[in-house]
Amino acid sequence: MAKKIRLNDEQWNTLQALFEAHTQKLPTEAIRVSERLRSNGLVTSDREGSNFLTEQGLRRLSQGR
């Protein structure tokens, strides 16, 4: 089983915002992503600068707060 990364409120809200933006097909460039989320492999971005959750980020989000 993978270790559950502890997130503060801001990091948790960022994951939720990215997920909601993806499901509603909204742009994600304006969502500020902390370096901690990137370094833990939860969030990445494409060449155009759009942020998105990785599979690991989706799994962490599904684990709940």
pLDDT of residue 1: 52
Cα 8 from Cα 5, distance rounded (Å): 10
The CA-CA-CA angle for residues 17, 41, 65, to 5°, reads: 50
Q: Which residues face 43 on adjacent strands?
A: 53
Cα 60 from Cα 54, distance rounded (Å): 10
Cα 39 from Cα 27, distance rounded (Å): 22
pTM: predicted TM-score of the whole model, two decimal places: 0.87
Q: What is the DSSP letter of 25?
A: T
* pLDDT 10s digits, 3-38: 788 999 999 999 999 999 999 999 998 899 999 999
